[in-house]
Amino acid sequence: CYTEADTPNPQSVYGQTKLAGEQALATSGARHLIFRTSWVFGAHGANFAKTMLRLAAERQGLKVVADQFGAPTSAALIADVTAQVIGQYMQACRPASTDFPQFPFGLYHLVASGRTNWHEYAQAVVMAAQAAGKPLRMGPDDVQAITSAEYPLPAPRPANSCLDTKRLRETFGLCLPDWRQGLQHVLTQLL
């Protein structure tokens, strides 16, 4: 997994603009917190989990890339961690103090624990939908693993989106749940 100290190598214009935003903030002189994340999903908006639910209800099989790795991270987890870190900041900045405390500003990786690939992620979504009794035209075994080369996209995707969260966990005393917990929570809302 990548640490915050590793040199970024964005694979697309999207990644390059995200990195440019991080760099602009970091060099602005402002005190800042940057939470770098990936594979974000939630109950609202378009995302991979919702697409897999829709396709599993429409199709008898799917082909999903199995050679790209990361940690699906729920928007709820990102919001919760952000609130906890801001709470710690507020505690450190009591009104009686006029100086900013020695707060650990900077860049942190924020993703759920664990690691998977898109294929296993799709199977987990279909399995959960099946267990919830959602009418589907396919099951988890109908999700076929393919390579990235077999599913070309206009913008390249990194083979490894795994982010090491040790700095975030140790600095702020946080425990990040496994990606499956966040997925189950969102799927419970959707199903």
Catalytic residue among 14, 89, 121, 151: 14
Q: Are 183 and 72 in contact (CB under 8 A)?
A: yes
CA 156 to chain centre: 18
| CA-based nearest residue to 128, from 115, 111, 143 | 143
42, 108, 46: which is closest to 75 by C-alpha? 42
- For the question of residue 151 being annotated catalytic, the response is no
Cα first-last separation, the chain? 32
Rg (C-alpha) for the chain, rounded Å, is 19
Question: What is the C-alpha to C-alpha distance for residues 128 and 139, in angstroms, rounded to an integer?
Answer: 10
Alpha-carbon distance 106 to 75, whole Å? 21
List, by residue number, the catalytic residues.
14
